[in-house]
Structure formats: C-alpha cells, structure tokens
Structure 1
C-alpha cells in the first residue's frame, strides 16, 4: 500500500513522476484496513523540499500510511508560501490529543545557537515530552537528535570549528538489530552539521545502543533498546543535489565552506555528485516502519502505553 497524503500537496505530483505510488485521501477511504498514523514535525525552512524527501522514503513499504504534516507555530516560514502552510500543515496544539504510531522530527538550521536561545525551544521540549506518551516510535533527525539528547539526558553537543559536510562510510556495529537488517557491513550516508556527540558518550547512556558509526562522522544511528527512540545524526533523506545546493548557498553568503567530502567526482564542484546513499536511506526508513513501528504498535492506538516511570528513569541514567 502507498502513503496517503493530502490531495493537491505538491509532493504528490513529484512522487508520481518518480513512479512512487501516493494515494489521495478519497481513494484511501475505500480500503477497510487500519493504516499507520505518522506525524512529521517539519522544522526546516524549505518545507516542500523536506516533505518530498521524507515522503519518498516512507513510501517503499506494503503498509498504508496516513501522514500529518505538523508545524511548531503559526509564524510564516522564510522559504515556503503561507498558502502552503495554511492548506497542508496543522499546528501541534491541534493534534496534541492524537496518538501516532510513528513521529519524525526533522533537523533545523540552528547549528550554532544554544538550545535555550531557540525561540521555540519550550515548544520543542513540550513535543519531546508529549511523544513519550502519544507515539510508539519517534525518529529524531540531525539537529533534533542532538536536541533530544540534551533534553532527555542532559548531554550537550560539541561544536566543530569546520562544518561536517559530505558523504561518509559507516560501519554497522549491531548487525542483528532489526533496524540494520539488510544493511551492507559498510554503507554511505550524508552529513551536514556542526554539532557532534562522541560514540562513547552515547554508548554510556543506559538504554541506548549505537547501531552504526563512522570514523570521520562519528555516531550515525542510535536507538533505544525499547525501539521507541531513534536518533539519526545525518541526512539519509537528502536529494542528490542537496549538499551541492548548501555549498553554493554558503559560498554566496561570503563563507568559505569546505568542498563536501566524497561527494563530487574527483572532489571537483564542477562535476556531478556521486549518489551512494539512497538505497540504504530507503532501507533505514523501511526497517523503522516495519520493525520499530508496525511490529510493536497496538492495533488500537487508544491503548498505546506511555513510557513507564522505570523506563523514563532508565533513559536518564548513565
């Protein structure tokens, strides 16, 4: 079954052109099944680009998925029309009563800003805490992954002097973990960030496992033993040209960005990017939906159990 997305969402036409089947709400209503409920809290300024990237990865399963696009506040984003936000996004306060099988919280362009100085930090913390009671499994991406570590475990990221940008090889550290099922022992994934937390720091947190790691980029996939938290420090959803667009943008802003590693042919920005990560990115999301969401979520979401006090204490213990 395909993902079910709102009619007229721009992502629908893009996915159909890529031969990815997306079902509109009218057709989905005729099927007598219980679809997975997945929310996407999109913190990126270019909402439409991020929507397409994530919906593409969610589409490669036999499951039918209802997707809610969620916004943290009603302020107009810089790179997305207000009409798009009004038509397709729901304020968090308006869905806070719901329960979800899965939730994805995206990264945000807040690399160098202390968490307490983020204008919506209190709202982000409220979403993090809400997810413990209302979501079976939550996927935190890039900035959100580091923010979750800070909020739940009091562990702050370190900031690099140079931005980590490129496509790096990673090793699977837990081949028997279901999230890594089907992965090659070495695979590639894009990164674009300043923040980092050492693999040892993750590993010392009771209840967390580092599933994949890179010598250059550090910990990449970290998951809780109960499958309800997954932190991805990179960007498996990136399009082929995304790192190039970021590099050109930084040049245009008068910065001196390093050429993304292992990305352009011969490391020459005039050449086309080498796309080496998309199959494993798709597999990661497929495994998350299957083993961490579908196989563990209750049929009746009203019976979804919040984390117990023991689980919460275990999560915060080092």
Structure 2
C-alpha cells in the first residue's frame, strides 16, 4: 500500500523514480479506507532531503499512510525556503486538537548545545508533552532521541571526544521484541553524532529497555515498555551518500573531519560508498508501523 503525500511535494517525484508506491491526495480521496495518520516533526536543516529519506521508508509498508509535516514556528529555517514551509508544513498550533497514529521526531545538528539553549526547546517540549495524549507511538531519531530521553526521563547526554561517524555492526538484545522481528543477529546502521548516553542512566529507569547496541557505536535502540516511545541514536533513514555529503561539507568548512568508518570502499573517500543497511531500515520502520502503531491504535482516533 502507498503513502499519501501532497500532490506537489518535491519528494514525490524522487520516490516515484525509485519505484516507491506514492499516492497523491487526488487519488487517495477516492479510496474508502482509513489510512494511518503519521506526523513528521522535521528538525533537520535540509528538510526536503529528510522528507525523501523518511517517506522512502514509510512507503515500503503494506499499510496506507497519510503523512503530515510539522515544523517549529519559533525557529527560522535558513536552509529551507519559506514557500516550501508555508505550502507543506504546519505548526503545533495547527494540529494540537488532532490525534495521530504515529509521530516521528527527527534529529538536528545541535548536540553541542544544552537543551534549554535551543531556541525552540519550549515549543519542542510542548510537542513532546502533547504527544503523550495525542499520539499512539512516537519514534525519535538521533538528537530527537536525546531530546526525548531528556524531556521524558531526565536522562542527559554527554559529549564524546570524537564524533561517531560511519557504518557499524549492531546486535539484537532480545529477539522476542516485535520491533526487531525478522532481524538478523547482526545488522548495519549509519551513525553521525558527537553525543552519547551512559548505559547506567538508561538502566536505572524501569520503564525503559535497551533493544539493540553496537560495540563501537554504543546504544542504538531504546524503547519504553509500553511501546509509546521509541528512541534510536543512529540514522537508518540515511541514503547511500548522506555521510559522504556530511564529510565533504565538514572538510570544506575546515573542520578536519574523520573519514566515516566502514563506509567508503577501502576507506578511500574518492570511491563510491555502497548502501548496505536498506533491509534493516525498511524492516525497522515496517515493524514500528505494524506492531507499535497499526496493532495498537484505535480505528476511530
């Protein structure tokens, strides 16, 4: 089944080129079916790129999904046009009276800031509080996971000496967990972050469970036992070239970045990286949509 997106959303054409089944609003209006309502709070600077990343994975589900896009009105985006935001995005004031089956909170490149120093922290806190009563399950990605664990449980991050950047092997901690249903014992995930969590800080919260981790990259998947809050520190939504673009951006800015680990063939940035984590990424999102959203959400929101 397809995802339903606005007729003119730029990501639609890109996804159709990749043979992803996308249904526009005009066609979806004629179907007598109740799609899942999924809201994406997009905190990334390059919002159109992130839209494509996430819609690609949501579109691989057998469920029909009605996607809405949310942004923080208290932050002025420098990398996405105001016209794009006006046409396709809403703010929390526009949706606060609505109910949603699922919410995705993306990452943001602001790990070095204290949470209270983020200029939209108050609004983000309002959204996360609203999600507890208006959303069946919320998926937090990278900095979104850090913000969520801090807001909901008071778990703070710490800054690493070196950035975690690359493709890392992860293990399944509990094969009975539905989010990991069908996973291999080992699988690959991209990471790109400076911050991390301490295991003991997670383990002291009885409501949380560590589902997956990496010997090199640390904790990866953390979930509340009721399935309403899912936190992942990596970026399974990244495409084959996202880490390359980040590396080249940081190099051009004179930041002397490390070469992403296990990413370029022979660790040679002149060679083309290969996409080796697509199966895990698709399965992760499909499992979340099926077991934590579709199987739990009421028919009448």
> Could you tell me the TM-score, scaled by structure 2's length?
0.98
Which residue does the alignment assign to 1:253? 253
Q: Which residue of 2 aligns with 1:94?
A: 94
- Residue 180 of structure 2 corresponds to 180
3-state SS of 1:176 partner = coil
Q: Write the distance in 2 (CA, Å) between the matches of 1:74 and 1:89.
A: 14
Check conservation: 2:158, 2:195, Cα contact below 8 A.
yes
CA deviation string 1:77-102 (max 9, x = no partner):
22112111111111121111111000
SS of aligned partner of 2:251: helix
Give, in angstroms, the shift of residue 198 of structure 1: 2.3
CA distances 1:215-268 after superposition (whole Å, capped 9, x unpaired): 111110111111100001000000100001000111111111110000000111
Q: What secondary structure is seen at the aligned counterpart in 2 of 1:139?
A: strand
The equivalences for 1:297-316 within 5 A come to: 297-301=297-301
**Aligned ranges 1:115-264 → 2 under 5 Å:** 115-264=115-264
Q: Over residues 160-210 of structure 1, what are the superposed CA-to-partner deviations in whole Å (9 max), with x where a residue is unaligned?
A: 111110000000001110000010000000000011002332233111111
Q: Distance in 2 between matches of 1:139 and 1:145?
A: 8
C-alpha distance in structure 2 between counterparts of 1:74 and 1:202, whole Å: 30
Q: Tell me whether 1:71 sits opposite 2:71 in the alignment.
A: yes
Matched with 1:289 is: 289
Matched residue, 2:12:
12
Task: Give the Cα–Cα distance (whole angstroms) in 1 for the partners of residues 199 and 56 of structure 2.
Answer: 29
Paired with 1:289 and 1:222, the residues of 2 have a C-alpha distance of 16
Deviation of the 1:274 alpha carbon = 2.8
Rounded Cα–Cα distance in structure 2 between residues aligned with 1:244 and 1:296: 38
User: Could you list the runs of 5+ residues in structure 2 that have no partner in the other structure?
Assistant: none
1:74 Cα offset (Å): 6.1
CA contact (8 A) 1:158 1:197 kept: yes
CA distance in 2, matches of 1:46, 1:216: 28
Of 200-209 and 189-198, deviating more is 200-209
Alignment check: 8 A CA contact 1:74 1:91 kept: no
Structure 1 segments, 4+ long, off by >2 Å, are 198-201
1:75 offset after TM fit, Å?
Answer: 4.7
User: Could you tell which deviates more after superposition, 257-266 or 197-206?
Assistant: 197-206
Structure 1 spans left out of the alignment, 5+ residues: 302-318
Following the alignment from structure 1 to structure 2, what is the Cα–Cα distance between the partners of residues 136 and 36? 11
CA distance in 1, matches of 2:84, 2:265: 36
- Determine if contact 2:74/2:120 at 8 Å carries over to the other structure: no
State whether residues 199 and 213 of structure 1, in contact with CA within 8 Å, keep that contact through their aligned partners in structure 2.
no
Change (3 A) 1:183 1:294: same
Q: How many residues align?
A: 301
Counterpart residue number, 1:61 = 61
SS at match of 2:37: strand
Q: In structure 1, the residue corresponding to 2:223 is in which secondary structure?
A: strand
Per the normalisation by structure 1, the TM-score is 0.93
RMSD: 1.0
217-226 or 48-57: bigger deviation: 217-226
Quick one: distance in 1 between partners of 2:198 and 2:54?
A: 27
> Structure 2: how far apart are the matches of 1:202 and 1:271?
39
- In the aligned structure 2, how far is the partner of 1:70 from the partner of 1:153? 24
